Amino acid sequence: MTKVVGRTAFITGGGSGVALGQAKVFAQAGCKVAIADIRQDHLDEAMAWFDGRGHEVMAVKLDITDRDAYARAADDVEARLGPVELLFNTAGVSIFGPLQNATYDDWDWQLDVNLRGVINGIQTFVPRMIERGNGGHIVNTASMSAFVALKGTGIYCTSKMAIRGLSECLALDLADHGIGVSMLCPGAVNTNIHEAVLTRPAHLQQTGYYGADPNVMAHLKQVIAVGMEPEVLARYVLKGVEADQLYILPYPEFRRTLEEIHERVMAALARPEDDPDYEKRAAHGVPGGEKREKVAS
């Protein structure tokens, strides 16, 4: 059981959507909260919501792909709110289309934010958390794309499947330090992610997909507008953190799809009787085989 009351939370992308929901719910649960975001307008709107509510919240303008700026942001937040013991790697972007149309800029932008941005958060805060020895918790926001491949989502899906591997390994590595790890996998959430292209940096503008096209943005908004509200999603996260759950999967509509994926994988997996060398390997307790360390449930 992880207690969150009184702890300091650092939430990337905290100016909008999923992360702002997390900021509201964890502040209401008694956390001190730093919201870090690349968009000043999002930070201003978020701070306006917190105004007068009595929570201890600060805004930090940060591009999570900038490692030096990340370290400075961490120092500023810790000087004002105390040691960060809850890290939410939530900021993310998306752009869709077939992989064969992707440019290197399309790859670099999404992997820089969705994967390297998360790595930067871990590299910045994990050594501090370990050194202080107070434990803590890290929540990485992935997506159902961490499990489900859909046509036209290739780069996004690659980044989110990477977050799954990262989160599962991190949970094993940090268990002895009392630092829990959760991976949040939302389906649709009613956020501003349809505007993600607006944060695309100037040096990565060459795209094989679309730019800041109002028609595309309106279409994407239609798809997510029926999604879960961010605060509802964040209440699942609070429960997941308190219960130290690795997987936070609040979307029952994916149940059958996940069963089908696992059935396909199991059908493809060789059986012991098909492989003459199996007994020899099994006798030695192959890493990753039957003797694999268990991941938290």
Ligand X SMILES: NC(=O)c1ccc[n+]([C@@H]2O[C@H](COP(=O)([O-])OP(=O)(O)OC[C@H]3O[C@@H](n4cnc5c(N)ncnc54)[C@H](O)[C@@H]3O)[C@@H](O)[C@H]2O)c1
Based on the residue annotation, tell me whether 156 is a catalytic residue of this protein: yes
- Give the span between the Cα atoms of 246 and 240, in whole angstroms: 8
Residue from 92, 121, 180, 240 that binds ligand X (CB under 6 A)?
92
Residue with smaller CB distance to ligand X, 64 or 249: 64
For the chain, how long is the longest CA-to-CA vector?
A: 70
Among 70, 104, 156, 247, which one carries the catalytic annotation? 156
Q: What residues numbered 147-176 form the site for ligand X, per CB under 6 A?
A: none
What is the residue whose two structure tokens read 């060459």?
A: 206
Should residue 249 be labelled a site residue for ligand X when binding is judged by CB under 6 A? no
Residue from 224, 237, 238, 241 that binds ligand X (CB under 6 A)?
224
The least CB distance from residue 214 to ligand X, in Å, is 16
Q: What residues numbered 33-62 form the site for ligand X, per CB under 6 A?
A: 37-39, 42, 62
237 Cβ contact list (under 8 Å, min separation 6): 22, 25, 139, 182, 184, 248
Residue with smaller CB distance to ligand X, 117 or 180: 117
- Give the span between the Cα atoms of 81 and 86, in whole angstroms: 12
Should residue 118 be labelled a site residue for ligand X when binding is judged by CB under 6 A? no
The least CB distance from residue 200 to ligand X, in Å, is 9
Residue from 34, 189, 197, 238 that binds ligand X (CB under 6 A)?
189
240 to 4, 143, 148, 164, 230: CA distances (angstroms): 11, 15, 21, 16, 15
So which residues are the catalytic ones?
156
